[in-house]
Amino acid sequence: MIPIKPVSTIAPSRTTFAAHDREDGPAQAALAFLKPGSLSLSSLPPLSLYVHFPWCVKKCPYCDFNSHEVKDGFPEELYLAALRSDLEMALPLIWGRKINTIFIGGGTPSLLSAAGLDRLLSDVRTLLPLDTEAEITLEANPGTFEAEKFKAYRASGINRLSIGIQSFNSTHLQALGRIHDGDQAQRAVEIAQTHFDNFNLDLMYALPGQSLAQAREDLERAMAYAPPHLSLYHLTLEPNTLFAKYPPQVPDDDASAEMQDMIAEATAAAGYGHYEVSAYAKAGRQSRHNMNYWQFGDYLGIGAGAHSKLSFPHRIVRQMRYKHPQTYLDQVQAGRPVQEEAEITRSELGFEFMLNALRLTDGFAPNLFAERTGMPLNAIQEILNLVENRGLLFRDHQVIRPTVLGSRFLNDLQEMFLT
């Protein structure tokens, strides 16, 4: 049998995953019958735009995102010009398709000036057809909050903020290497409330030295502001981070599980629906951008290190831009911002789809698989039977979703779809 570990041992990620190679006997055997060949998508999925801003004030010791410390400022004008050029070069791949959501992430994109952000959104509107009700999210960190700047952000078209609070406890924030303290975290939420009716608060738990009572206090303080959306992440020590090299003392698995149980009870009591591994929302306030990821929709990523997943009638491709900011600027100027591009093969699609869709608590409609992959669901029938027989998956004619056991051991359930 494939060894099973609780999902709590691996932190939920804010990004989508790419398929990777792994030797896994049962999963390989179950999908060995897949035959190569072109796909057949009856329609293209919804399309989102992701814009990456690669700079931050300070690199956090737990962060494995493509972010680089600001040293003597950053080239705002050059980077904005590069983003426009990058987008212009990508237009033939998405010609005529409407953008449903935009997410500006980082790094710390709230380091952008009000004029800079206005220029970025103006360029996007000039080049792309936007849905009239497009969700436009900006990631922001408390150490960058200025009331007038965020008022200007709202006027430019940002209609949702995602605020990296992480904790309201100054001691824990210091242990995480954050540049803000508890008072600044509180002030950031107050500014967000003043100018935005739709915002998300990011919190982390299982922090170095954190007790169950402290985790509960953080959550209660966050919910006291009545945010429409909460993202609650288990701290993990990711490879190639400072925390991986010098691991701090963090709560053990039992303590972490108690925190997860507390979060489930407290959020439900406060009216938050747990709709994805790490996401909780009031009714109708789910993140539309992230839902597009989890439902295997398309996204164009521009900016240093940004990833794209784009569908065509008979193929699906992934792209990655050059990661280092200066390299990205140079390559855009040379007319080749894409460092890597690869077609997702038929044998990878089952895993790619399930890696995303199984994160949704309520699962997905069976016909979504064919709509988004161009393959019939019976292409993965054997592995579906296998995981269903192990009690990890529930399915009928209306829905496919993880069971309670499957949600607890989600990482292993997803990996069973590897080829």
Regarding whether 192 and 65 lie in a shared domain, the answer is yes
User: Is the C-alpha dihedral spanning 45, 46, 51, 52 positive or negative?
Assistant: negative
Does residue 88 contact residue 127 with C-beta atoms inside 8 Å? yes
Measured torsion, CA atoms of residues 148, 152, 153, 157, in degrees rounded to the nearest 10: 150
Cis amide leading into 107 (omega within 30): yes
Tens-digit pLDDT profile for residues 217-228: 999 999 999 999
Regarding whether 94 and 29 lie in a shared domain, the answer is no
Tens-digit pLDDT profile for residues 253-277: 999 999 999 999 999 999 999 999 9
Q: What's the 3-state SS for 392-408?
A: CEEECCCCEEECHHHHH
* Chosen domain end from 263, 294, 325: 294
User: Does 274 fall in a domain?
Assistant: yes
Q: Between 158 and 33, name the one with better pLDDT.
A: 158
User: Does 370 fall in a domain?
Assistant: yes
What domain count does the chain have?
Answer: 2
Q: What is the pLDDT of residue 97?
A: 97
Tens-digit pLDDT profile for residues 199-208: 999 999 999 9
Query: Which domain, by its residues, includes 136?
Result: 47-294
Both tokens of 373, joined, read: 């992959």
Q: What is the pLDDT of residue 38?
A: 73
Does residue 305 contact residue 54 with C-beta atoms inside 8 Å? yes
Cα separation, 182 vs 260, whole angstroms: 22
Regarding whether 82 and 228 lie in a shared domain, the answer is yes
Regarding whether 117 and 58 lie in a shared domain, the answer is yes
Both tokens of 155, joined, read: 């006027």
Write down the H helix ranges in 73-140. Answer: 76-90, 114-127
286 has a pLDDT exceeding 70: yes
* Chosen domain end from 264, 294, 324: 294
Q: What is the pLDDT of residue 71?
A: 86
Q: Buried b vs exposed e over 373-382: b needs ≥16 C-beta within 10 Å?
A: bbbebebbee
Mean pLDDT of all residues in 324-341: 98
Regarding whether 113 and 15 lie in a shared domain, the answer is no
Regarding whether 409 and 372 lie in a shared domain, the answer is yes
| CATH code of the domain containing 398 | 1.10.10
Q: Between 348 and 21, name the one with better pLDDT.
A: 348
User: Does 92 fall in a domain?
Assistant: yes
User: Does 132 fall in a domain?
Assistant: yes
10 has a pLDDT exceeding 80: no
Regarding whether 74 and 32 lie in a shared domain, the answer is no
Regarding whether 76 and 24 lie in a shared domain, the answer is no
| CATH code of the domain containing 256 | 3.20.20.70
Regarding whether 248 and 105 lie in a shared domain, the answer is yes
Mean pLDDT of all residues in 237-263: 94
User: Does 162 fall in a domain?
Assistant: yes
User: Does 272 fall in a domain?
Assistant: yes
Regarding whether 32 and 120 lie in a shared domain, the answer is no
Tens-digit pLDDT profile for residues 71-86: 889 999 999 999 999 9
pLDDT band with cut points at 50, 70 and 90 for residue 107: very high
Regarding whether 55 and 31 lie in a shared domain, the answer is no
* Chosen domain end from 229, 262, 294: 294
Regarding whether 159 and 86 lie in a shared domain, the answer is yes
